[in-house]
Amino acid sequence: MNIIYCFLRNNNLMITRISHLGIAVKDLKSASEIYKKLLQSEPTKMEFVEEQKVNVVKFTLGESTIELLEGTSPDSPITKFIENRGEGIHHIAYESDNIHTELIRLDESGFELINKEPKTGSDNMMIAFIKPKSIGGVLTEVCQH
């Protein structure tokens, strides 16, 4: 077992909080207007995440965030999700103090990882996904600022 992993696990530096909920939408502009009314707040400026082929708008809610996700190409994971399942909750994301160590722990615990190494997400966060079948049908993201 990895020495760094053992040290961090013993010091409880793993998943620290729910970071955000990702919601797949067809039309980011109209969805943003709906969430502005619902949450009575303004969204962040739209961000294009090239690696994920997605436009993102965020609403802060306490310590958590609601991410509205719009695919920007036919092969975007969000576009494919909407084609198969329609608009709605895409994923839940948990923040970690050390995503690399957390991915080792999850892999060793039997979770099936989509990403064994982090990728770049919005706000330049490191992100990695766990297959839904590993967690009761819920696509799960681990992220780190």
Query: Residue 140: which H helix or E strand, with range?
Result: strand 140-144
Alpha-carbon gap, residue 100 to 84, rounded angstroms? 31
Q: Which residue has the tokens 């995503």?
A: 99
Alpha-carbon gap, residue 95 to 113, rounded angstroms? 16
Q: Which residues of the chain have pLDDT under 70?
A: 1-13
Domain 3-144, CATH homologous superfamily name and number: 2,3-Dihydroxybiphenyl 1,2-Dioxygenase, domain 1 (3.10.180.10)
The whole-model pTM stands at 0.88
- Which residue spans within 84-136 are E strands per DSSP? 88-96, 119-120, 126-130
What average pLDDT does the structure give for the chain? 92
Residue type, 48: F
Mutual angle of helices 3-10 and 99-108, in 10-degree steps: 100
Which pLDDT value is given to residue 14? 85
Which pLDDT value is given to residue 12? 59
Which pLDDT value is given to residue 3? 44
Query: Residue 20: which H helix or E strand, with range?
Result: strand 15-24
Domains in the chain: boundaries = 3-144
Which pLDDT value is given to residue 4? 44
